[in-house]
Amino acid sequence: MRPAEHDLIYDWNVQGDTPARPPRTIEFDDETLRDGLQSPSVTSPPIEKKLEILHLIDRLGIQTADIGLPGAGPHVVEQTLRLAREIKDAKLKVTANCAARTLEADIRPVAEISQKAGIPIEVCTFIGSSPIRQYAEDWPLETMLKHTENAVTFAVKEGLSVMYVTEDTTRAHPDTLKQLFATAIRCGARRICVCDTCGHATPDGAANLIRWTRAYIDTIDPAVRIDWHGHSDRGLGVINSISAAAAGADRLHACAIGIGERVGNTPMDQLLVNLQLMGWIDHDLSALPEYCSVVSVACEVPVPINYPVVGRDAFRTGTGVHAAAVIKAYKKGDAWLADRVYSGVPASMVGRTQEIEVGPMCGLSNVVYWLEHHGYEAADATVQAVFKAAKASPRVLTDAEVHDIVKHAAVGA
């Protein structure tokens, strides 16, 4: 009998002063179909692909999805309405929200789509909040407050739930944020979204901002929830989101494979996997590879081969010592052990398997394993022929190449 998990893996991640699992449910807002498409290098998918992505978002148990910014024009209105109707007609669990500037012209089409589709839609009305943005735009605070009051009041009057979004919150002054938040909440906003629009924050910065926001909002209305929206300019999108959740954020925003403006938004796939491994969420992530693959193809954004979890090499090894450990675990008849002995992320969690390859770094055990798992007898002559070819190759051999070597070895025998 295999020893207990805690006897096989000493987990330094949970030792000492580490954040505890938040007492509330962590929710997610998928921005793939809106903010993710702002990348200058993506191709905006046709509506059929957007519908497929929406269904995958739903399968992953993601609570909300941003389905468009209807204020951008009639073509966006048409597609946003189609997505909203799909949520209702297909009885999806995911709920919809839409982005809008703090302008009636942006908010009105959201209300109309909600009415036509027959589903509630949260409006995410946004405005810049940092002094650098105010200076560049020539925005007096009085104007920003007036826009906030008018937009939130109008949205509430139209029957929309409001998430008030302050862009560049991570570089905004608390005195400005106090006035903006207070105005939005007084006018009916039920969520406040703090944004790391430029990817400026560190994990400490994200936590500081969320704690400050929670403490301030609690003095006005403790029922108002807080969202965190992060970007990855410093490569900190995932850890900042985790830090924000630990500090009190109720909902985290992210995009499939991290697409989005500049270097992209927080990658939803990596965020889900990390929080699942931490025990902070319990989702069925078996659809994660398909979700990433469909977005990659539809948006024409290649997934790097070494991308975590869904990249081609995420669960492959061609190194002899690594493969030997995995193979020994398989020989024990222990799939759990084989999936973890050389992997910090279990492949089975996302519907994948550990893969043993044959190449210049391999050992004989790689070759034997490959042959046996492809229906060949691991005869010594065959093993040696494949092993010799592997050592002479500058890269891992393809399956077709190994099949060809086996065939020629059989002919030679």
pLDDT at 412: 62
pLDDT at 81: 98
Distance CA 94, CA 88 (A): 10
Indicate whether 172 pLDDT > 80. Answer: yes
Q: Would you list the domain boundaries of the chain?
A: 24-299, 316-412
Computed over every residue of the chain, the mean pLDDT equals 96
Share of the chain above pLDDT 90, in %: 93
Q: What is the CATH number of domain 24-299?
A: 3.20.20.70
Q: Give backbone dihedrals phi and psi of 29, rounded to 5 degrees, phi first.
A: -120, 120
**Which tokens hold the place of 239?**
């850890």
Three-state DSSP at 126 gives strand
Indicate whether 70 pLDDT > 90. Answer: yes
Q: How far is CA 45 from CA 48, 88, 143, 169, 258, in A?
A: 8, 21, 37, 30, 16
End-to-end CA distance of the chain: 43
Q: What is the pLDDT of residues 274-330, one digit of tens each?
A: 999 999 999 999 999 999 999 999 999 999 999 999 999 999 999 999 999 999 999
59: nearest Cα among 385, 351, 387, 394:
351
Q: What is the pLDDT of residues 52-68, one digit of tens each?
A: 999 999 999 999 999 99
pLDDT at 409: 83
pLDDT at 18: 83
Q: What is the pLDDT of residues 123-136, one digit of tens each?
A: 999 999 999 999 99
Q: What is the pLDDT of residues 207-251, one digit of tens each?
A: 999 999 999 999 999 999 999 999 999 999 999 999 999 999 999
365: nearest Cα among 408, 410, 325:
325
Share of the chain above pLDDT 70, in %: 100
pLDDT at 6: 85
**Does residue 184 contact residue 169 with C-beta atoms inside 8 Å?**
no
Q: What is the pLDDT of residues 351-396, one digit of tens each?
A: 999 999 999 999 999 999 999 999 999 999 999 999 999 999 999 9
* Confidence band, pLDDT 50/70/90 cuts, at residue 413: low
pLDDT at 281: 98
Indicate whether 153 pLDDT > 80. Answer: yes
Residue with tokens 């209807």: 70
